Structure 1
Amino acid sequence: MHVLLTRPLEDSIELIKKFKDKGFTVSHLPLIKIDKISHPKLNGSEYNNVVFTSSNAIRNLDIKHLDKKILCFCVGDATEKTAKQKGFHNTFSAGGNVRSLKELILQNLEKKTEKILYISGELVSYDLDKDLIKEGLNVQRLINYSVSHTKELNPDFLNELKKKIPDIIYIYSQNSAESFLNLIKKYKLHDYWMKTNLMCIGEKTSSVLNEIKWKKIFLFNPGEEEFLLYKI
């Protein structure tokens, strides 16, 4: 079984090891690059709650001015794990779904007047802050990273890829899907994937790659990568 993982290396290391331990061939092609955006110094005493929709939002934040005991709402388990590693104690995970994250926040806030710090990347697929504001919550969004697309493939990697096309590819975001589609078009790889299973987070992500012929397309949440292998 040949698996292609496409998240940045720091997000893929554990899964690479797990798959290699199972005897799989694992290739790694990060489809996006995370670039930090400078932000003003935070006054941590202003906020009663913090919301993260990705681990990158945590990694690119100067958190020393935030109280680690405030409620910390995370989109999924991987993000929650990163939050705990950074010292946050009172964490909640929405299981990988942003709309579920909204409901989780609404269910656990005692007062709508409590100030919420929502930290995210420059581009989001769902305007969580706007929806929470419509619910009467006091939300401040802080953008602390941007995403740039991978535009080139290493010639050696490309040659090896053509020799042994992956049985499974995991795509984790619309940005990643767009990067992958652009690379497929640039290197004329349209007809290589008919025996490959495409694993995508959400229908919006998979829809980007619908013009390519895949063996099958599966939807998944982060943390379900190993479980999906039993569906093939």
Structure 2
Amino acid sequence: MRLLPGPQRGGRRAGGVTGILVTRPEPGASETAAQLTRLGHQPLICPLLEIVYLDAPLAIGPDVAALVVTSPSGVRALARLTPRRDLPLYSVGDRTADLARQLGFHDVFSAAGDVNALADLIVREPPRRAGRLLHVCGQDVAGDLARLLHPHGIRLDQHIAYRAQPAAALDGQTMAALADGRVSHVLLFSARTARCFVTLVEKVGLAPVMAGLTALCISQTVAEAIQGPAWGEIKVAASPDAAHLLALLPPGIDA
């Protein structure tokens, strides 16, 4: 865990906020922590997944009409594997779409939602030429985009370009912060990260601490992944993106 510099006034803050635990992989964890600091919160970084990029050759043949990505890691993996930037690219959300543009992709479409919204976008605005879609993704993918597109005659193939390696244990600083009540909210960006957090907390006997924590979930799917343990509260973002997730927090002390 890394405790980043932030406003310090001691004790529990207005709205019951102390530390905000950021569990997403890097580099997203540091980006989110910087946002939290700007909002007047005290972020604590504890990535529970490590992204490991795979070097499986990526062949983009003439039958590929468009590319699909459903995470920032997918975009980074795609950019590593091919110099091509000429094909249309469909993105699940705005943050992923913005990153794609930064990495040189020009013809980018954002669903600004989840996998269902992405399927709707592709059906509504299909590629200009016929062909299959290529989804560059990780080993564990949320939702079944291929199944959603199949009834519309759209073929989607996957190319697995990375894997997310779960943490084997919580680090000592994170355990101490949880045990001492220095964490009030936990940001959960994926169902896999959420399940990993619960497993590791229970593993070290800190499950009772969760009754004092608020879980902030980026989607209902994430919230469903942590049903069972006695959380103090579970909140779900109005839209599955980082901005709406952070909007669930009370104002920071400098806000």
Q: Distance in 2 between matches of 1:55 and 1:91?
A: 14
Q: Does 1:228 align with 2:248?
A: yes
Tell whether the 8 Å contact from 1:172 to 1:201 is kept in structure 2 after alignment.
yes
Q: Does 1:7 align with 2:7?
A: no
Q: Distance in 2 between matches of 1:111 and 1:86?
A: 22
* Aligned-pair CA distance for 1:135: 1.8
Question: Residues 79-228 of structure 1 correspond to what in structure 2 (within 5 A)?
Answer: 79-109=96-126, 113-220=130-237, 221-222=240-241, 223-228=243-248
Residue number in structure 2 paired with 1:35: 52
- Secondary structure of the 1:228 match is coil
Identity of aligned residues (%): 24
The one-letter code sitting in structure 1 at the alignment partner of 2:177 is: E
Tell whether the 8 Å contact from 1:165 to 1:196 is kept in structure 2 after alignment.
no
Tell whether the 8 Å contact from 1:112 to 1:138 is kept in structure 2 after alignment.
no
- Structure 1 vs Structure 2 CA RMSD: 2.1
* Aligned-pair CA distance for 1:186: 0.6
The one-letter code sitting in structure 1 at the alignment partner of 2:170 is: L
Structure 2 portions without partners, runs of 5+: 1-16
Indicate how the Cα distance of structure 1 residues 128 and 94 shifts in structure 2: closer, same or farther if over 3 A, else same.
same
Q: Distance in 1 between matches of 2:34 and 2:41?
A: 10
Q: Using structure 2 for the length normalisation, give the TM-score.
A: 0.82
- Secondary structure of the 1:43 match is coil
- Secondary structure of the 2:249 match is helix
Q: Please give the per-residue CA displacement for 1:168-220, whole angstroms capped at 9, x wherever unaligned.
A: 11111111012111101111111112232111122232122222222221112
- The number of equivalent residue pairs is 231
- Secondary structure of the 2:29 match is helix
Question: Residues 49-88 of structure 1 correspond to what in structure 2 (within 5 A)?
Answer: 49-61=66-78, 62-66=80-84, 68-88=85-105
The one-letter code sitting in structure 2 at the alignment partner of 1:198 is: A
Q: Distance in 2 between matches of 1:110 and 1:60?
A: 22
Tell whether the 8 Å contact from 1:80 to 1:92 is kept in structure 2 after alignment.
yes
Q: Distance in 1 between matches of 2:176 and 2:250?
A: 29
Q: Distance in 1 between matches of 2:162 and 2:98?
A: 19
Structure 1 portions without partners, runs of 5+: none
Q: Distance in 2 between matches of 1:122 and 1:134?
A: 24
The one-letter code sitting in structure 1 at the alignment partner of 2:248 is: L
Which aligned runs of 4 or more in structure 1 are off by greater than 6 angstroms? none
- Secondary structure of the 2:208 match is helix
* Aligned-pair CA distance for 1:83: 0.7
Q: Using structure 1 for the length normalisation, give the TM-score.
A: 0.90
Indicate how the Cα distance of structure 1 residues 171 and 110 shifts in structure 2: closer, same or farther if over 3 A, else same.
closer
